[in-house]
Amino acid sequence: MVAPIIIGIVVVVLVIFLIANYNALVRLRNQVKNAWAQIDVQLKRRYDLIPNLVETAKGYMKHERETLEAVTKARNIAQQATSAGAGERAKVEGELSSALSRLMVVVERYPDLKANQNFLALQEELTSTENKISFSRQYYNDSVLRYNNKTHMFPSNIVASMFKFKEGEFFEVTLAAEREAPKVSFS
């Protein structure tokens, strides 16, 4: 009589353990997806700002066609990579950031453009967006870390392997140029 009760209690405890760990893994996986979506929101904002920035700069920078085309090309490639994984997405976004940095360096040669209110407003919006992208990437990586820890740590790793929860991919900088501190010159 006591044995069936003990077996019943053990089964109930195991079912509760399984449900609690499964739900925690689902919650963390959804948090990672949400964090990735927040990066997408900021990247979309960046993609929308770039054409306005390039058009404003075109009137002043007739001799810098190559730089403007590089920014436009990098934007288009990044925009098309929306279904790529975090690693590939980080690579194309890094190339876009690099092209934007080159544009800002070229802008320094055009005092009239630097004083243009439209350009200044767009530049400020782009800077704000870049900061938001950076914060979104950091939040995404924090979410991936929490999720990966849960999928690898005992005892939740048992539930993760039973239900085939896959490890999350971090958003990492792949271009060496992005790891370097920017050079600032006031000459």
Range of 96's domain? 2-179
Residue 135 lies in a domain: yes
pTM > 0.85: no
As given in the structure block, the two tokens for residue 102 are 């080159």
Collapsed DSSP state (helix, strand, coil) of residue 109: coil
Residue 10 lies in a domain: yes
Residue 186 lies in a domain: no
Per-residue tens of pLDDT for the chain, all 187 residues: 788 999 999 999 999 999 999 999 999 999 999 999 898 888 888 888 888 887 777 766 666 777 778 888 888 888 888 777 777 888 888 888 888 887 887 777 777 666 677 777 888 888 888 889 889 999 999 999 999 999 999 999 999 999 999 999 988 766 555 545 444 343 3
Residue 50 lies in a domain: yes
- Provide the CATH number for the domain around residue 147: 1.20.1440.20
Residue 187 lies in a domain: no
Residue 185 lies in a domain: no
Helices (H), the chain: 2-58, 65-80, 86-107, 111-115, 117-152, 156-162, 176-179
Burial level of 185, CB count in 10 A (0-12/13-18/19+)? exposed
Quote the number of domains for the chain: 1
Distance from C-alpha of 132 to C-alpha of 125, rounded to nearest angstrom: 10
